[in-house]
Structure 1
Amino acid sequence: MTDDLDRELIGLLRADSRKPAATLAKALGVSRGTVQNRIERLVRDGTIQGFTIKTRPDASNRVRAVMTIAIEGERSGAVVRSLRGFPEVSAVHTTNGRWDLVAEIDVETLNAFSAALDRIRQIEGIASTETSILLATQKL
């Protein structure tokens, strides 16, 4: 089970998985050993399934989508913290209007996409969601 420190660590690694453990430790306010142990545990338990590079959106055949999320009551902070633990979620945005959050999802396959949706929808505090797969990116 991931905690707030794990989620923050995952977020830092998502932004740059090549950051040295000492740099991550300083950003998190913990020891380098704590960071190394956390990373090892997250890899061992499958939370972190690999370290990768980012490419242009049109340079791969990945499944990318946006999920709009309505939150029950005042639970947005808890929902955002939970979403940080999902490697499939590349970004979360707060918004106004009908939807409280927009989550960007990036996975390798439709099966992984379906599994991620099922797991995200089970987060306590999510009232409803609507998801759209991004089919093509237009260069502006």
Structure 2
Amino acid sequence: MSDLPDLLLNLSRQNDTMHSLDATDQQLLALLRHNARESIATLATRLGVSRATVTNRLRRLEDSGVIVGYTVRLRPEAETGALRAWMSIAIEGNDARRVSASLLGEPAVQALHATNGQWDLLAELQVRSLAELSQSLERIRLIKGIRHSETSIHLETLRAGGV
């Protein structure tokens, strides 16, 4: 937990940076979401800018923490042994930042989304087994500030967008 202040500072900086992205940055991020292995030359052509511009923007987005890495997306059926679940979380009072920071430190949490309505947060969980899911849920439910939660196990994707 000693990294909590740094985590919160980085989240704040990332939020500030996200608000300062121009249209070219947003288009670049959209292209990378579609194919993170696209060449600099192809990205430059699609954006109508020079390769140096793309390189500089990528470096700035990485340095500012907007881009934190590049990854491989697998079709759900290719992820053998992976068990996915969604956890809806209601938070007590004004504990959202502290709870979010704790959740982001939980190994099973793949992504965390702020929501509206009955639930404050939606956590995407990924584990290898039901036993591991049970252990993760026990740890998460012990986080101070979580009032109530509900978990649904991902059984099947009926329609995958963009993949």
Q: CA deviation at 1:55?
A: 2.5
Q: Which residue of 1 aligns with 2:124?
A: 104
- Structure that is richer in helix per residue: 2
Q: Which has the higher mean CA deviation after the structures are superposed, 56-65 or 113-122?
A: 56-65
Structure 1 outlier segments of 4+, above 3 Å: 5-8, 25-28
Q: Which of 52, 62, 76 does residue 57 from structure 1 map onto?
A: 76
Q: CA deviation at 1:139?
A: 2.5
Per-residue CA shift, 1:1-53, capped at 9, x if unaligned? Answer: 45224796xxxxxxxxxxxxxxxx9557xxxxxxxxxxxxxxxxxxxxxxx96
Q: Which residue of 2 aligns with 1:3?
A: 3
- Note if contact 1:90-1:105 (Cα within 8 Å) is conserved in structure 2: yes
Question: Structure 2: any 5+ residue segments left out of the alignment?
Answer: 11-61, 66-70
Q: CA deviation at 1:105?
A: 0.3
The answer to whether 1:77 aligns with 2:113 is: no
> TM-score, normalization: structure 2?
0.56
- Judged with a 3 Å threshold, the aligned counterparts in structure 2 of structure 1 residues 119 and 128 are, in CA distance, closer, same or farther, namely same
Q: Distance in 1 between matches of 2:90 and 2:118?
A: 7
Q: Which residue of 2 aligns with 1:121?
A: 141
> What are the residue-to-residue correspondences of 1:26-37 with 2, within 5 Å?
26-27=63-64
The answer to whether 1:93 aligns with 2:86 is: no
Higher-Rg structure is: 2
Letter in 2 for 1:57: P
- Judged with a 3 Å threshold, the aligned counterparts in structure 2 of structure 1 residues 139 and 99 are, in CA distance, closer, same or farther, namely same
- Note if contact 1:2-1:85 (Cα within 8 Å) is conserved in structure 2: no
Q: CA deviation at 1:86?
A: 1.0
Q: CA deviation at 1:130?
A: 0.3
Task: State the SS of the aligned residue for 1:117.
Answer: helix
> TM-score, normalization: structure 1?
0.64
> What are the residue-to-residue correspondences of 1:3-22 with 2, within 5 Å?
3-4=3-4, 5=6
Letter in 1 for 2:99: V
Letter in 2 for 1:55: L
